[in-house]
Amino acid sequence: MPDSHFESKDQEARLFHEGIELFNSGRWFDAHEVWEDIWHIATGARKRFYQGLIQCAVTLEHVRRGNPRGVRSVWETCLTKFEGLDGCYMGVEVTTLLSDLQHVLNPILGLPKEIFDPARPRGQKLPINWDQVPKISLRYNPFD
């Protein structure tokens, strides 16, 4: 059974690459929106992969918005989406992406417990080095 049901391979490829460009330019909310269009149609491992990419983007958007609880909860869920996938899936070095994101998020995830209190408002200044946020580069084009 195929892992996606698109009108054309070109449609999926266009959305996949557009999401990567948006992610790499720091437009994580927009990347998440584009990848959701793929996720809704994809099946199997590919569906989980796209959901993982979406959650990587959403995690970073929570950092931008100063929501440490969102960072922690989405990141924990994100990691499970990539379980069982190859280290390089659809051209994305998943292992490296997750490791690099973990490194960037560690200062936030290691904050004192009270920072994650639901009573605290969003908009907190969170410790992150934006220059270290990883970019997604493809080892190969999965649509060739």
1 belongs to a structural domain: no
Between CA 19 and CA 11 the distance in angstroms is: 12
In this prediction, residue 117 carries a pLDDT of: 92
Pull the structure tokens for residue 12: 């999926």
91 phi-psi bin (left φ>0, alpha ψ -120 to 50, beta other): left
Note down the domain range covering 123: 9-132
For residue 144, being part of any structural domain is answered with no
Number of domain units in the chain: 1
Per-residue tens of pLDDT for the chain, all 144 residues: 345 555 567 889 999 999 999 999 999 999 999 999 999 989 899 999 999 999 999 999 999 999 999 999 999 999 999 999 999 999 999 999 999 999 999 999 999 999 999 999 889 999 999 999 999 999 999 998
Classify residue 139: in a domain, yes or no.
Answer: no
Q: How far apart are CA 144 and CA 127, in angstroms?
A: 40
The two tokens of residue 123 are 């908009």
Which residue in 48, 44, 15 sits closest to 32, CA to CA? 15
User: Domain for residue 3, yes or no?
Assistant: no
CATH number at residue 55: 1.10.3450.10
* pLDDT at residue 3 in the model: 52
Angle between helix axes 44-64 and 9-24 (nearest 10 degrees) is 20
Q: What is the DSSP letter of 92?
A: E
Is residue 79 in a domain? yes
Residue 122: predicted pLDDT: 87
Kindly state the greatest CA–CA separation across the chain. 49
Amino acid at 92: V
Please tell me the distance from the alpha carbon of residue 119 to that of residue 84, in angstroms, as a whole number. Answer: 36
In a domain, residue 137? The reply is no
CA atoms within 13 A on the CB side of 89: 21
- DSSP letters, 14-38, are HHHHHHHHHHHTT-HHHHHHHHHHH
